[in-house]
Each structure stands twice: as structure tokens, then as C-alpha cells.
Structure 1
Amino acid sequence: MKVKKAFLLLLFLGPIILNHLVAFVDGYAEESQPASMAFYYEVLQPENQRNDVGYFDLLMKPNQKQTVKINLVNTGEESIAIDVRLNGAKSSSNGVIDYGPNELPKDESVDIDFTDIVKSVDTIEVPAKSSKELSINIDMPEQSFDGVIAGGIQLQAREDDTTVTQGAIRNRFAYIIGMLLTETDKKIEPNIVFRNVYAGQSNFRNTIFVTLSNVEKMFLEDVSINVQIRQKGKKDVLFSEEKEKMRMAPNSLLQFPVSMTGERMVAGEYTADISVSQHQKQWSWSEDFVISKTEADTFNGEDVDLQEQNIFDWKFMLIIFLLIVISMLMLLILFRMWRNKKSKKARRRPKKKTKK
């Protein structure tokens, strides 16, 4: 009877509790809405804009100085401080061009850095229900160049850290506006250069990296890369990776990862057979490299797949050990039972009388 009453009470109160819980979650999400959702931007295209696109595509001249504008519109009820970051375009390991802030290394072929010739303020304040123009200053080098210099302008509203409560998940949004600077329409031939091959980790998993560079001031589309790793002097392929339709930014480095698929890294001498194609162009290299014992031990100790495997092996061995112990105990018990039974039978057996 008590169980029935409890069930009826839960049936009655359940929808009420759920309704208040949903209302609380909705209200909490509304309170945590980031300020960056309350503004948007408009690219104000100058006369030397080459194409009608949503970013800057400018035809420049040597030693030219120009200021371009981005109109920032604040639709919120409070003023917003917007952080501005300028970044040169780079190539990510999965073949995507990154115009935002990142830790990707700069290639040694960069002779004109985007951030050296494009400048802006670090922060701009936009009043509530108002708009304000952001100035981007361009100072072209004296020496002319063929090709394109590419970069990005990141706009991100500054959040008030004091409003973040413990345990809250706060997503920060940012706009990234591309900027392309060209001086001539001269056609450039693509050129990819091998830089290095080395052992490392990607997402805490053992990986071999092959680094390649696009050393020209041009975007590379539809790049295909195939890498095979083998022991030096042997033909058997240990690890391989192939990817198509990759992109590379002008004068950028691409760190192509070859996964070791959860295998332990073993010290020794290896060879990387590398094949790259881009439309009708092809490049190939066969490069030797060494994995030291220190590197192998370090990366094996940090590989999450190997750690999980070690935990699994430890648990498996423990289970086997326990099964063996249990089996031995059962055999010992059965043996003692058999021996006791045999002893009882022997005691019950009548003794033969001896004749006098």
C-alpha cells in the first residue's frame, strides 16, 4: 500500500518538478548568453576591392599606405569591448587554412609577415545600441612582389569574468574576416619543399610528423599527400597515411600526421616515403630519420591508448590470477572432500576376524 501511494505521489509531482527544472535551465542559459552574440560587423569595401565578397581582397601598390574600415554594430543594451587580433594565414595539419590565432609555426619562407604590414588597435569600445568603425592600417613594403599575402582579422567581445559562476559552461564566439593583399596578376608556379620528419604526438597518441612547406605566395588547392613509414633498409610498411583535397596557405608549413594506430613507439632508424601531388604537379622524397630510446620511452608513457591498454592488461592478468587461485582452492576442497570420504569408507569397512 505504501509503495502504491509513493508511486501516485511521484506521478503527481514529477511533471511539476520537471517543469521547474526546465524553466531553471532555460533561465540559466539566457543569463549566460555571451556578449559576442550582441554585435555584428560590416566590411566597408574600398575602391581597390577586387571582388564583391565578405572579406578584404585588395589590389595594392609597393609602399602604399591605406586604412580600411569595418563597421561594428552593437545591438545589445550595454556597451561592448571588442578585442581585435591580427593573424597571418597558416595551414593546419588536416589541410585547412587557419586565419585565426593559433600555435602553428611560421614557415621560414615568409619574407613579408602579414602582422608586420597590417596594424590595428587591440580593443575597441562600441556603445550600446550603436555602431563604430574599426580602422585597419596597411603599410605595404617598398619592394614589389608577385602572388598574395593572406591573413585574418579576429573580432571577439570581451567577457566579464566576474559573471562566470563555478561550473557554468560559457562559449565564446568570434568573427574572423579574411584579408588578401596582391600587387600583380602574374601567374606563379607551385612549389612544395620537404622540411623534416620526426616522432611526436597528436592528441596524446604516438604519431610520425612529416613537415612540408608551400614556399610560394599562392594558395594551393586539392593537395594530396601519401606517406609510408618503414624500417630503414626494409620494404615492409609499418604505418601509412593518405589524404586528399587539402589546402595550403601562401608561405606556410603543414605538419602532416601519420598515426601509429595505437602501437608502441620503438627506437631505431626509419625511412619515410613521401608522395605529394597538386593538380598536374608531383613531388616525392625518401627521407631517413631516427627515433631515440628517450623519445620512444617518453611518448609511450604519454600515449593514452597505451595507458588504457596497460590498464586492461593489468586487469586481465588480475582476473586470470584470481581464476587460477579459485580453481586451485576448488581443487583443494574437492581433494579434501574425496580424501575424507575415502577415510570414512575405510573406517566403516568391517575388520576380518583372525582364526585362532
Structure 2
Amino acid sequence: MLMDKENQLKKLLMALLLLLIGSFFFRPQTIQAAGLPFQVMPVLPSNQREPDEAYFDIIAPANSQTKLQLKVKNITTQPVKIRVKFVTLQTNNNGQLDYNMKQTRDHTLTYDANQLISGDQQLTLPANSTTIYEAQLRMPASNYDGIIAGGLVLEPITAAAKVKKGQIGITNRFSYAVPVIARNEDKTWLPKLQLASSKLVQIDYHNQLKTRLNNPSVTFVNQLRVEQVVTNLNTKKVYRKSTSKMQMAPNSHFDYRLNLPEKIPTGTYQVVTTAYYVKAKRAGYLAGNQQRYQYRQKSVNQVVVTG
């Protein structure tokens, strides 16, 4: 009887944990840049998971097809040509979700969202007009136990400005991203995180310590905080960096970087990296910002700097 009660308690705690993780699930903000000549609003399909969201969050069976419709409005008095890109959601080196970077495919990624979305890659809107753009999302042929994360990115097609000899040309490009999140069933998954060994690199002639963070799980890593302490074991000089409010896309990675002096002393450096994620008031891990987190991952390694 006691064992039955313990098993019931464990199941209840696990259900509460999954509910907690789901409540922190990806909440993107698609903000229109001031320089865009058009406005975009998704037309949510009937299999939308959350009908009040401003992005696609779809539940669809294997090998099914879902229409992704966007209401696009030209707000200018001139015709507008728009390029549409289908992308896989990634994580940039600032620890933020990114729809425009060209990152090496993560080795844990099973399905590229940009390979599952199809449609016209250009559209033209007459002045002061509105149209419905339509793409298609086809789910993988077999059931996938996880989240597929990508998006539709719209950007105006403009003529390239001519730059005179000796001048530096700077082009501002604005785009609008509509997230596309898809899964076979309405469930959540436990997040994971892996920390690789740190390396000393030079970026634009600046010394930096680079530590690869990898999210091998099929869900988002939310509310990520990283604390890093680097100690010269000879001089006891300490370098620190902490960053909060980061987020990682499913099956993605990024490089956490700590700046070091231009002339860094030779010797052996101990690198302690601690990552916390998913805030919870009564969770067991207390971070340096005095916030509690559900998960913690820690790595300790050494880097040798030679002359």
C-alpha cells in the first residue's frame, strides 16, 4: 500500500513538472520593423494548438499537410515585391532565437523545418492592397516525438543601391518572421543541455573564451542563465561573466563567449561554467541572481595559454 502511494506521488509530481515546463513554452514576439512597407497577420488554421497566439503552433498527424496562410497588406502607395524564405529556427551567439542566421546544422536535428515548408518564394502587392499568401507544411512521414520549429520570413525586394568607388555601402535590411511550430500530439518534453569544453579563440583580434552550449532535446530550453568563472591558477586572477534571459531552439547550439585581455598572461586557466534553466519559485537550484531554477548543468575544464 505504501509503495502504491509513493508511485502515485511520483506520477503526480511528474505531471506537475511537465505542466510547469509547458507554461514556460516558447512565446515569440513578431514585431514589425519600422522600415517595412507591409504588414503581416497569420490566418490560424483549425488545428492550431493555441487559437489566441500570433504565430503558427500546429498539431498535425504524420504525413499530413496544413495550409499556412498570411494576410499581407501593402501600406504604401507603390507596388511592393516581397521575398519569402522558409527557415529552421536556430540559436545565435547571444542566446536568442534567430530566423535569419546560417548556422551549421546541429547534429541532433532530425527534421529541418525549411525542408517541410513549401510555397511561392515571391509575391507582388499593388499599392494599398491586401492579399492572402499561402504555403504548405507537410509533416514527416512517420510520427516524430518532439517539436519542429521554423518560420516564414518576409522581406521586401529592393533595388541594390549604387556605391561610388572609395565609399562604403551600408544596406539596412528589415524582415518579418512568423514562427511555425509543429508537433504530432499535444504534449511537452523535458529540456536538456550539454556544455562542451572551452577554447581560447581570437575574434577580430580580440581574445575570447568560447564554450559551446548544445540543446540536444526536441523542445525549447527556456529562461537560460549562464554563469562563467575563469581563474588563472598561477596568478589567481579571475574573469567572470553572467548572462540571463536566454533561450535555445530545439536541437540547436550556440557559442557562449567571455572577453579576455588583449595580452592575456600565459598559464593554466580553470573554467567553471554553470547553466541554469526553467525558473521555478521552489526549485532546488539557486543561481547568482538569487532566482531558482528547475535545472542546472555544470562543467569544469582547463585551458592552457602559451606564449
Smaller-chain TM-score range?
0.7 to 0.9
* Alignment map for 1:161-240 (pairs within 5 Å): 161=160, 171-202=172-203, 205-231=206-232, 236-240=236-240
Which residue of 1 is the match for residue 134 of structure 2? 135
Which residue of 1 is the match for residue 148 of structure 2? 149
Q: Rg larger in 1 or in 2?
A: 1
Which residue of 2 is the match for residue 22 of structure 1? none
Which residue of 1 is the match for residue 43 of structure 2? 44
Distance in 2 between the 1:259 and 1:216 partners?
29
1:163: how far off? 7.8
Which residue of 2 is the match for residue 73 of structure 1? 73
Which residue of 2 is the match for residue 288 of structure 1? 302
1:211: how far off? 0.6
* Alignment map for 1:22-41 (pairs within 5 Å): 37-41=36-40
Q: How many residues are treated as equivalent by the alignment?
A: 257
AA at the equivalent of 1:151:
G
Distance 1:59 1:269, change over 3 A: same
Secondary structure, aligned partner of 1:116: helix
Distance in 1 between the 2:109 and 2:305 partners?
30
1:176: how far off? 1.1
Distance 1:157 1:197, change over 3 A: same
Distance 1:287 1:119, change over 3 A: farther
Which has the bigger relative contact order, CA under 8 A and spacing at least 6?
2
More helix per residue: 1
Distance in 2 between the 1:196 and 1:105 partners?
19
Distance 1:188 1:237, change over 3 A: farther
Conserved in 2, the CA contact under 8 Å of 1:35 and 1:158? no
Secondary structure, aligned partner of 1:115: helix
Q: Deviations over 1:302-322 (max 9, x none)?
A: xxxxxxxxxxxxxxxxxxxxx
1:240: how far off? 2.1
Query: Where do 5+ consecutive residues of structure 2 fail to align?
Result: 1-32, 278-292
1:35: how far off? 11
Secondary structure, aligned partner of 2:174: coil
More strand per residue: 2
Conserved in 1, the CA contact under 8 Å of 2:221 and 2:248? yes
Distance in 2 between the 1:235 and 1:64 partners?
62
Which residue of 2 is the match for residue 96 of structure 1? 96
| Percent of aligned pairs with the same amino acid | 23
Distance in 2 between the 1:36 and 1:83 partners?
15
Query: Where do 5+ consecutive residues of structure 1 fail to align?
Result: 1-33, 294-356
Distance in 2 between the 1:271 and 1:84 partners?
46
Q: Deviations over 1:1-41 (max 9, x none)?
A: xxxxxxxxxxxxxxxxxxxxxxxxxxxxxxxxx99633212
Distance 1:290 1:116, change over 3 A: farther
Distance in 2 between the 1:291 and 1:193 partners?
25
RMSD across aligned positions (CA): 2.9
1:155: how far off? 0.7
Conserved in 1, the CA contact under 8 Å of 2:92 and 2:101? no
Distance 1:81 1:164, change over 3 A: farther
Conserved in 2, the CA contact under 8 Å of 1:150 and 1:178? yes
AA at the equivalent of 1:106:
R
Distance 1:120 1:199, change over 3 A: farther
Conserved in 2, the CA contact under 8 Å of 1:35 and 1:157? no
Distance 1:97 1:175, change over 3 A: same
